[in-house]
Amino acid sequence: MGDGQKLFDRTAAAAGAPFDLLAAAEAGDEKRVGSLLERQADVNCRDERGWSPVIMAAKEGHTSVLQLLLVSGARADPPDVSHSAMRGAALFGHTGCIQMLIQAQGAVNVGSFGNKTPLMGAAMNGHASAVTLLLEHGALADTKNSFAETAYQLAEMKGHEHVMRILSATASASPP
């Protein structure tokens, strides 16, 4: 995910809705996404695992597809999902997508499965600009995931000292 590994591929698209829209969003195929939306595809569809077109576009950094989905009525934070578009974008350092989701009222502190926040994903993978952007928009650095780990601790485990410095400078993120 976000690194060339795809959850949906062209063969999944042949399976029909919602897989065709999910595959097109993940692939960054703006023309196909637009065509599916013109034919009344559900912009907020999800598969059985909770993946939505917004999540697919955000995790892959497809800003033009994400914008198209959002202006077509996609929710930045679909209800009752174990994944979030904000976390997907943060995991891979896609600051353009993070900014779009914030502008669309996406929650910066939404917890995905295991109460893993977008800030934790960005910190764990060493994406300093994403960490900074999330903090500037109210991300809570002292939140703990299901393993009682904070964003600082995740950055520390991975040796991302530059991210640790950013988080240390945040009042709520004092090192453990």
- In the chain, what are the domain boundaries? 1-80, 108-176
H/E run at residue 156: helix 151-158
The rounded distance, in Å, linking the Cα atoms of 61 and 58 is 5
* Residues 152-168 pLDDT 10s: 999 999 999 999 999 99
Tell which residue, 147, 148, 152, has the closest CA to residue 171: 152
What topology does CATH give the domain 108-176? 1.25.40
pTM: 0.87
Cα separation, 152 vs 69, in Å, equals 33
Residue that is written with structure tokens 């917890």 in the block = 111
Q: Tell me the β-bridge partners of 95.
A: none
Q: Let me know if the fold of 1-80 is the same as that of 108-176.
A: yes
* pLDDT tens-place string over residues 109-126: 988 888 899 999 999 999
Tokens of 126: 């060493």
Fold category of 1-80 in CATH: 1.25.40
- Per-residue pLDDT tens over the stretch 70-82: 999 999 987 666 7
